[in-house]
Structure 1
Amino acid sequence: MNLSDSRTAGVRRVSAQEAVLAHLRDAIVRGEHPVGAKLPSEAALGAEFEVSRSVVREALRGLQALGLTVSRSGKGTFVIADRPVDNPRFGSYSARDLLEVRRHVEVPAAGYAAERHTADDLRQLTDLLERMARETDDSAWVALDSLFHVTVARASGNPVFGKVIEEVRDALTRQSALLNQRGERRAESDAEHRRLVEAIASGRQDAATEAMADHLANVEHALSDLVGRPR
Structure 2
Amino acid sequence: MNLSDSQTAGVPPVNRLGATEYVRQNLEHAISAGVVKVGQRLPSEAALAARFGVSRSVVREALRVLEVRGTTATRVGVGTFVIATEPVSQVDFAGFGATDLVEARPHIEIPAAGLAAVRRSEHDLEHLQGLIESMQRTDDPDEWVRQDTELHLAIAEASGNRVFTTVLRSIKAALALQSGQLNDGSNRRLPSEHEHRSIVAAIAQGSITEAEDAMRFHLDQVKDVVLTERSNTHEGENR
Q: Distance in 2 between matches of 1:92 and 1:184?
A: 24
Pairing 1:26-65 to 2, within 5 Å after superposition: 26-65=29-68
Pairing 1:48-197 to 2, within 5 Å after superposition: 48-72=51-75, 76-182=79-185, 184-197=187-200
User: Which runs of no fewer than 5 residues in structure 2 stay unpaired?
Assistant: 6-10
Q: Distance in 2 between matches of 1:94 and 1:218?
A: 17
What's the CA shift for 1:109? 0.9
Matched, 1:7 2:7: no
What's the CA shift for 1:65? 0.8
Matched, 1:206 2:209: yes
Cα RMSD after superposing both structures: 2.7
What's the CA shift for 1:133? 1.8
Q: 1:116 to 1:125 in 2, by over 3 A?
A: same
What's the CA shift for 1:66? 0.6
What's the CA shift for 1:203? 2.5
2:219 equivalent in structure 1: 216
CA shift digits 1:164-207 (9 cap, x unpaired): 11222222222212222246411111110111112222332222
What's the CA shift for 1:83? 2.4
Structure 1 length normalisation: TM-score? 0.83
Q: Distance in 2 between matches of 1:118 and 1:204?
A: 14
Q: 1:137 to 1:34 in 2, by over 3 A?
A: closer
| 8 Å Cα contact 1:182-1:222 kept in structure 2 | no
Amino acid at match of 1:203: G
User: Which runs of no fewer than 5 residues in structure 1 stay unpaired?
Assistant: 9-13
**DSSP 3-state at the match of 2:80:** strand
Q: 1:42 to 1:198 in 2, by over 3 A?
A: closer
Structure 2 length normalisation: TM-score? 0.80
What's the CA shift for 1:38? 4.0
Q: Distance in 2 between matches of 1:85 and 1:207?
A: 37
